[in-house]
């Protein structure tokens, strides 16, 4: 059926020394099956345990031996039972012989291959700390060579995950060394990959759970000059595995409709913004590109005619010191350049270049057009990837570099010019040094913690586990992140406790405190804020930060906010402060808040007079400071607010005192004509028609109140 169909035999060591990691193995294996159920439902999986007390396999029946290897399931199409079975692996009682198990698994794949066509893979998970039985004839190495040859001949691949936790490393070293040697023979003599992991988290990432067959994005020449072209294939080396796109679920499908798909169709209609009744069919659309204030329409045909059309090619522009290319210039996901397979000269040429460049610390700059008809070029850097294995060719990683247009030259202060309070002293520097040295995720002699190559995406892990849970219990809540995955998102408790003294020293050496002024004002806002609108709080907080910034420059006695007692005076004083322009906006904002409070908290209009005084002062201030929009927006909002909150009496009060919008005549920035201002006064129940400048959505009103954006 599917072109990339795969048959996998999972061969799992369940011997006593493996028991502690079996929970993680259960997770990673069931995830493998789950992903197959979602992405490749025709793949087939078989499932072999070793280290079991019992024995059950065809080889035992056919030729004897192969004890303690149990075939739990022959190779067949994936199904949900398999997920369940893998989540409850039986614990074995006998040290496992992985070589026997490999033979059993390989045998299954060979027999399967006689009648089926699919890629065949064997996945072995073991700690490889138990002794392998001596063969009847020849050495163990001979035996491995035979198996490896057989696998190669059959085109069977093998992924071995060797799990070595702390306790495993203390067992018999000579056995371990022998086993590791045998594994290396597999890895060199067949298409086998052997990876070692030392933590449950890495175990989850070590087994490839989704089978994506890589496709080349380019096959052709890597040109050094017109005279020298090397045949290469280019693939993606990294590509983000995205969160699955789920379909939208329709609840309209009647529950009686058992075959209802519950799908939602999304239809798109294009309407002219100015005339929403007019629907434009898709083929009548034309692309418009923004250029300054203009939108320039260009038809596809025009675009095709004028666009940049480079020739398909990959050309080396030259070589340069690797220090010229900083790591943070790498722009996107990474490609890999490998010589055309089977082309010995190309493999050698690439190998020679890679090794020379590595020795000399050089990188190559290349210009790439992957496809004919591609409308752009990329310039990138090739860095050598020299292989330490005989059976793997040397290759290059390729990273895209930015163009001139992509780089922003922001300037930042030099650290050496910072004020001395921001410069660490000797003691502080020492504490930081110790932390950087000791909070070590790659301790010598041990495996790197959280290496990207073995670290699974915790969100995807969590999603698939939840998917499986929900398929059984539709109402289940999202379970908390389990401990193994928390190792990715949180610091390792053990590592922290090992470095307790260093951490304490760092804590003592550096005094970090929340900006005290900030704290106070944030609290003040909280007390004052009447609504629960978070956004308002945030804004006010932000505004206060700015205000506090400016306080540094001013004497304490000066007015910093519009108070309750004498708001008009406070407001005017703040406006007249010339030490920082921020005061003006702060004053206006404060005054608006004050007026709102007054109106809202009024009892039979007792505060109306005071509010009016404030409003008059605000109006005057906004004219002086050329901020007419601030006032006009505010007045509209206030008026609307009063309509809604049944405070119409205040509107009437304002009208009777002839408070109007600020007109163009009073302030040139105003968009309000004399006439509009008058009609506002006459007809306080303004509707959006009158306010063409503010005929926006309802939610804009809040933002107007918040800051007159």
Partner 1 sequence: MSMDLDPDEVFRDDEDDPENEFFKERDNTKEFLVYLVDASPKMFSSTCPTDDEKIATHFQVAISSIAQSLRTQIINRSYDEVSICFFNTRGKKNLQDLSGVYVFNVREREDLDRPTARLIKEFDQIEERFEKEIGSKYGIVPGSRDNSLYNALWVAQALLRKGSAKTADKRILLLTNEDDPFGNLKGVIKVDMMRTTMQRAKDAQDLGITIELLPLSRPDDEFNVSLFYADLLGLEGDDLAQFKALIGERFEDLNDQLRKRMFKKRRVRRLRLVIFNGLSIELNTYALIRPTNPGTITWLDSMTNLPLKTERTFICADTAAIVQEPLKRFQSYKNENVIFSVDELSEVKRVSTGHLRLLGFKPLSCLKDYHNLKPATFVFPSDEEVVGSTCLFVALHRSMLRLKRFAVAFYGNSSHPQLVALVAQDEVMTPSGQVEPPGMHLIYLPYSDDIRHVEELHTDPNSVPHATDDQIKKASALVRRIDLKDFSVWQFANPALQRHYAVLQALALDEDEMPEIKDETLPDEEGMARPGIVKALEEFKLSVYGENYKEEDSDIEGKAAPTRKRKANAIKEYGNYEWADLADNGKLKDMTVVELKYYLGAHDLPVSGKKEALISRILTHMGK
Residue 402 φ then ψ, to 5°: -75, 155
Q: How far is the CB of 638 from partner 1 (least distance, A)?
A: 19
Nearer to partner 1, 100 or 159 (CB): 159
Q: Which is nearer to partner 1, 56 or 210 (CB)?
A: 210
Task: Tokens for 646, please give them.
Answer: 């049944």
By beta-carbon proximity to partner 1, the closer residue of 19 and 462 is 462
CB of residue 342 vs partner 1: minimum separation in angstroms? 9
Q: Rank residues 88 and 675 by Cβ distance to partner 1 and give the closer one.
A: 88
Q: Give CA–CA dist 159/7, Å, rounded.
A: 13
Q: Per the structure block, which two tokens stand in for 285? A: 């659309």
- Residue with Cβ nearer partner 1 (286 or 665): 286
CA 76 to chain centre: 36
Phi then psi for residue 46, to 5 deg, are -115, 175
Q: What whole-number distance in Å separates Cα of residue 190 and Cα of residue 157?
A: 8
Query: Could you please report the per-residue DSSP string of 498-510?
Result: HTHHHHHHHHHH-
The minimum distance between CB 188 and partner 1, in angstroms, equals 8
Which lies closer to partner 1 via its Cβ, residue 296 or residue 616?
296
Spatial CA neighbour of 72 closest among 92, 87, 56? 56
**CB-wise, 8 or 176, nearer to partner 1?**
8
Query: What's the min distance (Å) between Cβ of 504 and partner 1?
Result: 10
Q: Could you tell me the CA-to-CA distances from 304 to 241, 289, 378, 683 in Å, in that order?
A: 32, 15, 19, 57
CB closer to partner 1, 227 vs 557: 227
Q: In this structure, are strands 216-225 and 228-236 parallel, antiparallel, or unpaired?
A: antiparallel
CB of 22 to partner 1, least distance (A): 21
Centroid of chain to Cα 168: 35
CA distance 9 to 113: 12
DSSP helix/strand/coil, 227: coil
SS3 label, residue 368: strand
- 355 φ/ψ sector (left φ>0, alpha ψ -120 to 50, else beta): alpha
Choose between 468 and 607: whose C-beta lies nearer to partner 1. Answer: 468
For the four alpha carbons of 200, 206, 211 and 216, in that order, the dihedral sign comes to: positive
**What's the maximum distance between 2 C-alpha atoms anywhere in the chain?**
113
CB 611, min distance to partner 1, A: 23
CB of 128 vs partner 1, minimal distance in Å: 21
Minimum separation from the CB atom of position 326 to partner 1 (A): 7
Please report how close the Cβ of residue 241 comes to partner 1 at its closest, in angstroms: 4
The Cα-based distances of 333 to 10, 327, 336, 380, 401 in angstroms read 31, 13, 10, 12, 11
CA distances in angstroms from 630 to 96, 120, 326, 709, listed in the order given: 79, 71, 48, 9
CB of 503 to partner 1, least distance (A): 6
- What's the rounded Cα separation, in Å, for the pair 473 and 469? 6
Instruction: Rank residues 53 and 702 by Cβ distance to partner 1 and give the closer one.
Output: 702
């Amino acid at each position: 059926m599917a072109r990339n169909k795969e048959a996998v035999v999972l061969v799992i060591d369940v011997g006593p020394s493996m028991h502690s990691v079996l929970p993680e193995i259960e997770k990673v294996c069931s995830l493998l099956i789950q992903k197959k159920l979602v992405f490749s439902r025709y793949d087939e999986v078989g499932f072999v345990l070793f280290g079991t007390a019992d024995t059950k396999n065809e080889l035992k029946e056919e030729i004897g031996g192969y004890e303690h290897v149990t075939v739990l399931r022959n190779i067949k199409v994936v199904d949900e039972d398999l997920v369940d079975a893998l989540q409850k692996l039986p614990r074995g009682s006998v040290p496992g012989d992985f070589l026997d198990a490999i033979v059993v698994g390989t045998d299954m794949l060979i027999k399967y291959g006689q009648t089926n066509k699919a890629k065949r893979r064997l996945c072995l998970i073991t700690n490889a700390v138990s002794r392998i039985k001596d063969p009847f004839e020849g050495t163990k190495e001979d035996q491995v060579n035979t198996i490896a040859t057989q696998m190669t001949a059959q085109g069977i691949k093998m992924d071995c995950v060797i799990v070595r936790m702390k306790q495993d490393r203390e067992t018999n070293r000579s056995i371990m060394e022998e086993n590791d040697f045998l594994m290396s023979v597999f890895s060199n003599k067949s298409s086998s990959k052997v990876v070692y992991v030392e933590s449950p988290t890495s175990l989850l990432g070590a087994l490839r759970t989704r089978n994506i067959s890589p496709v080349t994005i380019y096959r052709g020449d890597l040109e050094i000059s017109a005279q020298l072209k090397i045949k290469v294939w280019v693939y993606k080396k990294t590509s983000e595995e995205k969160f699955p796109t789920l379909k939208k679920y329709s609840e309209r499908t009647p529950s009686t409709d058992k075959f209802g798909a519950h799908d939602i169709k999304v239809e798109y209609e294009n309407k002219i913004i100015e005339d929403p009744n007019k629907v434009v069919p898709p083929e009548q659309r034309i692309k418009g590109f923004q250029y300054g204030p203009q939108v320039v329409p260009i038809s596809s045909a025009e675009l095709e005619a004028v666009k940049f059309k480079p020739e398909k090619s990959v050309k080396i522009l030259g070589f340069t010191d690797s220090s010229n290319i900083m790591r943070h210039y790498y722009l996107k996901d990474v490609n890999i350049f490998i010589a055309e397979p089977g082309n010995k000269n190309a493999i050698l040429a690439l190998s020679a270049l890679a090794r020379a460049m590595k020795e000399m610390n050089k990188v190559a700059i290349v210009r790439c057009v992957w496809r004919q008809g591609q409308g752009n070029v990329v310039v990138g850097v090739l860095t050598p990837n020299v292989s330490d294995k005989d059976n793997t060719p040397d290759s290059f990683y390729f990273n895209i570099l930015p163009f001139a247009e992509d780089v922003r030259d922001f300037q930042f202060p030099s650290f050496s010019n910072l004020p001395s309070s921001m410069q660490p002293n000797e003691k502080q520097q020492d504490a930081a040094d110790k932390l950087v040295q000791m909070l070590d995720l790659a301790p010598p002699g041990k495996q790197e913690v959280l290496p990207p190559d073995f670290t699974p995406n915790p969100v995807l892990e969590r999603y698939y586990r939840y998917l499986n849970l929900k398929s059984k219990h539709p109402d289940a809540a999202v379970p908390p992140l389990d401990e193994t995955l928390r190792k990715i998102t949180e610091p390792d408790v053990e590592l922290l406790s090992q470095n307790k003294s260093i951490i304490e020293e760092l804590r003592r050496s550096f005094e970090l405190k929340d900006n005290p002024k900030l704290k106070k004002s944030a609290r003040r806002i909280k007390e004052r804020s009447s609504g629960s609108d978070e956004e308002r709080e945030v804004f006010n907080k932000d505004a206060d930060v700015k205000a506090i910034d400016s306080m540094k420059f001013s004497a304490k006695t000066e007015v910093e906010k519009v108070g309750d007692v004498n708001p008009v005076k406070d407001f005017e004083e703040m406006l007249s402060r010339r030490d920082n322009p921020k005061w003006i906006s702060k004053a206006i904002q404060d005054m608006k808040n004050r007026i709102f409070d007054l109106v809202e908290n009024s009892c039979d209009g007792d505060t109306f007079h005071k509010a009016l005084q404030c409003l008059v002062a605000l109006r005057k201030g906004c004219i002086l400071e050329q901020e007419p929009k601030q006032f006009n927006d505010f007045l509209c909002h206030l008026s609307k607010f009063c309509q809604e909150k049944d405070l119409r009496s205040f509107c009437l009060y304002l009208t009777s005192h002839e408070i109007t919008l600020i007109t163009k005549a009073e302030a040139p920035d105003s968009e309000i004509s004399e006439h509009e201002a008058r009609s506002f006064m006459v007809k306080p129940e303004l509707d959006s028609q009158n306010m063409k400048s503010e005929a926006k959505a309802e939610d804009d009103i809040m933002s107007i109140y918040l800051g007159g954006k």
